[in-house]
């Protein structure tokens, strides 16, 4: 699983938000405020499929940049650290 941060051209945001949801492997798409316009939750079988998925996202008219963040399974299932006072 990974999260993809997407920047969109100003006048293309609505089109990109609709289009990206149709791509196989995009599980969720959330509009955001701040530096990035969309945060996508994506999943691919392997590195090759992940690269194909990213190419499809980047090929959408109006996508100006992406940043990919692959999650680590061990970290997502670990307990949060205990607080030490």
Please report, for the domain that includes residue 42, its CATH number: 3.30.70.920
pLDDT for the residue numbered 80? 62
Domain range enclosing 45: 2-71
CA distances from 28 to 14, 65, 81 (A): 15, 18, 28
pLDDT for the residue numbered 76? 55
pLDDT for the residue numbered 85? 53
Total of domains in the chain:
1
pLDDT for the residue numbered 78? 57
User: Does 53 map to a domain?
Assistant: yes
User: Does 81 map to a domain?
Assistant: no
pLDDT for the residue numbered 73? 74
CA 85/CA 77 separation, integer angstroms:
25
pTM score, two decimals? 0.82
User: Does 39 map to a domain?
Assistant: yes
Q: pLDDT, tens digit, for every residue of 33-66?
A: 889 999 999 999 999 999 999 999 999 999 999 9
User: Does 76 map to a domain?
Assistant: no
User: Does 15 map to a domain?
Assistant: yes
User: Does 47 map to a domain?
Assistant: yes
Which of 12, 29, 11 lies closest to 20 in space, CA to CA?
A: 29
Using DSSP, state whether 3 is helix, strand or coil.
Answer: strand
pLDDT for the residue numbered 11? 85
């Amino acid at each position: 699983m990974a999260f993809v941060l997407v920047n969109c051209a100003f006048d293309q945001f609505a089109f990109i938000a609709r289009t990206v949801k149709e791509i196989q492997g995009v599980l969720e798409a959330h509009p955001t405020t701040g530096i990035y316009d969309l945060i996508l939750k994506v999943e691919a079988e392997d590195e090759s499929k992940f690269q194909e998925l990213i190419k499809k996202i980047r090929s959408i008219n109006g996508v100006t940049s992406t940043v990919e963040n692959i999650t680590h399974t061990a970290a997502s299932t670990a307990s949060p650290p205990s607080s030490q006072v």
